[in-house]
Amino acid sequence: MKTKLKPLAYVLVAAFAVAAAGIAAYAPSTQAADDKKTDAPKPALTVTTTKPSAASLPIKLAANGNVAAWQEAVVSSESNGLRLTEVRVNVGDVVKAGDVLAVFSSETVNADIAQAQAALHEAEANAADAAANAARARTLQNSGALSAQQISQYNTAEQTANARIASAKATLASQQLRLKYTRVVAPDSGIISARSATVGAVSSAGTELFRMIRQGRLEWRAEVVAADLRHLKPGVSAVVKAANGSEVTGKVRMIAPTVDLQTRSALVYVDLPQNAGSKDTPFKAGMFASGQFELGASDAMTVPQQAIVVRDGFSFVFRLNADKHVSQLKVQPGRRLGDRIEVLGGLNAGTDIVVRGAGFLNDGDLVLVSADAPAKVAAK
């Protein structure tokens, strides 16, 4: 029995030996493949890409300046030595041309008017008597009853009496004008910006009582450097922003003919809307405001704002290369429109650039491009 089983045992031993040799031969190759798979680089990030696009961007010129009254009128007293009895307006009131702003006492003026009227009546009576005497003298001129000298005296007396009438009338008109000046009226429509009138005060002629913004018009006096003045002309629109963020649109009225020697800038006068000076608007005379002049539009190459990475004070984008690695490119940003930024230099129009995930990349990183997947940092 032992003799019969011996060949079978040899066969089994040989089979095991062949299997062991095959396993030994396969194991190194499998290990090498696994090692090779492990050494393959992994993408640093999953990103999305895009190409720069052309757009028409507005051309704007930024400037700063002060808001001021278009014209400020000074309302002064034209009466001398009269007491102020009534003040009818205060700062901020809107008035129309001819509205009474203040009233002075008129008792003294009325008395002077009565005296002037009496003097006029007296002059008229004396003139009538002188005229009658002169007329009689002229009728006796050829009779010899009166000498030529006496006739001349009567004619002179008549002329003197008429002159006294004219003088009395002028005095009466002067007193009536003083009476008119007891009522201080607005020279134009506008807004009262300052008041120094006080009830009971005795003012002299020329004393300032009120200041007013004529027609309620305000203007923005923008300071523009001399190099930028060539872009501006009357009629150009400007958007002016108040301190609280409110904006109004005005138009350039004129450009100052001179440039300041110290700042090398000139004033550009921008008319603000008619209601900009009312009580409820945020714009007040004397306040600081910023703004932009709208100079039209021009073609530009833009990229998404997310694609711009700012490092060390410079702006960069990441270009996607054919081998899926990225290269960091320094670019010059320009105007901004919504979520897109103009690129002035450093980038070609047909270049693929990284959008999502650009802020996490470094020069030379390998990336995985996805059309719509959000950027996700790969596990290391």
228 shares its domain with 290: yes
> What is the pLDDT averaged over residues 26-54?
68
pLDDT at 94: 92
201 shares its domain with 237: no
- Residue among 205, 213, 208 nearest 182 (CA): 205
Say how many domains are in the chain: 4
> What is the pLDDT averaged over residues 121-145?
85
Q: Which of 19-28, 40-49, 128-137, 296-305 has the highest mean pLDDT?
A: 296-305
Q: What is the pLDDT of residues 88-108, one digit of tens each?
A: 999 989 999 999 999 999 999
20 in a structural domain: no
361 shares its domain with 307: yes
192 shares its domain with 262: no
Q: Which residue has the higher pLDDT, 298 or 379?
A: 298
- Which of 197, 215, 233 lies at the terminal end of a domain, its last residue? 215
With a cut of 50, say whether residue 373 has pLDDT above it.
no
pLDDT band (50, 70, 90) for residue 14: low
96 shares its domain with 115: no
21 in a structural domain: no
With a cut of 60, say whether residue 19 has pLDDT above it.
no
199 shares its domain with 85: yes
> What is the pLDDT averaged over residues 173-186?
93
Whichever domain contains 314, its CATH number is 2.40.420.20
290 in a structural domain: yes
235 shares its domain with 126: no
207 shares its domain with 229: no
Tell me which of 21-35, 135-149, 168-182, 356-370 is least confident. Answer: 21-35
220 shares its domain with 278: yes
With a cut of 50, say whether residue 252 has pLDDT above it.
yes
222 shares its domain with 209: no
194 shares its domain with 91: yes
Q: Domain range for residue 209?
A: 73-100+186-215
pLDDT at 10: 58
36 in a structural domain: no
Q: What is the pLDDT of residues 196-240, one digit of tens each?
A: 999 999 988 889 999 999 998 999 999 999 999 999 999 999 999
- Which of 268, 297, 326 lies at the terminal end of a domain, its last residue? 297
pLDDT at 280: 67
303 shares its domain with 293: no
Whichever domain contains 83, its CATH number is 2.40.50.100
- Which of 163, 181, 199 lies at the terminal end of a domain, its last residue? 181
Whichever domain contains 220, its CATH number is 2.40.30.170
pLDDT at 278: 61
pLDDT band (50, 70, 90) for residue 282: confident
Report residue 239: phi and psi, to 5°: -100, 120
